[in-house]
Amino acid sequence: MSSNGTLTRADLAESVNRHIGLSRAEASSIVESILDHMSDALERGENVKISSFGTFVLRDKNQRMGRNPKTGVEVPIDSRRVLTFRASQSMRDRVAGA
């Protein structure tokens, strides 16, 4: 993991390189391919479920009225699609036990 406490694409590729023995270029290509496939599915409006890890879920939010906290003026918030992540129970158990 990077020194700032964030797991990066390069870290994932390095892990694939070490554990499977592929070249760094091949490992990086596999990581990019997986992430591209996930991104494409989400772009098409599909949810992405990774067993024992979690689910990336798309939700459509309706238009609503919001309030500018600084001025107190009400403003409409447009409808939009948001991406959420729901960790699996096994992942929650692993994180809670860490």
Assess whether pLDDT exceeds 80 at residue 2. no
Assess whether pLDDT exceeds 90 at residue 97. no
Distance CA 14, CA 50 (A): 21
Q: Which domains does the chain have, with CATH numbers?
A: 1-44 (no CATH), 47-98 (4.10.520.10)
Helix (H, G, I), strand (E, B) or coil at 24: helix
Percent of the chain exceeding pLDDT 90 equals 91
Assess whether pLDDT exceeds 70 at residue 57. yes
Average pLDDT over residues 60-76: 94
Global pTM? 0.78
Closest CA to 11 of 39, 31, 38, 26: 31
Burial (0-12, 13-18, 19+ Cβ within 10 Å), 12: middle
- Beta strand 80-87 with 74-77: parallel, antiparallel or unpaired? unpaired
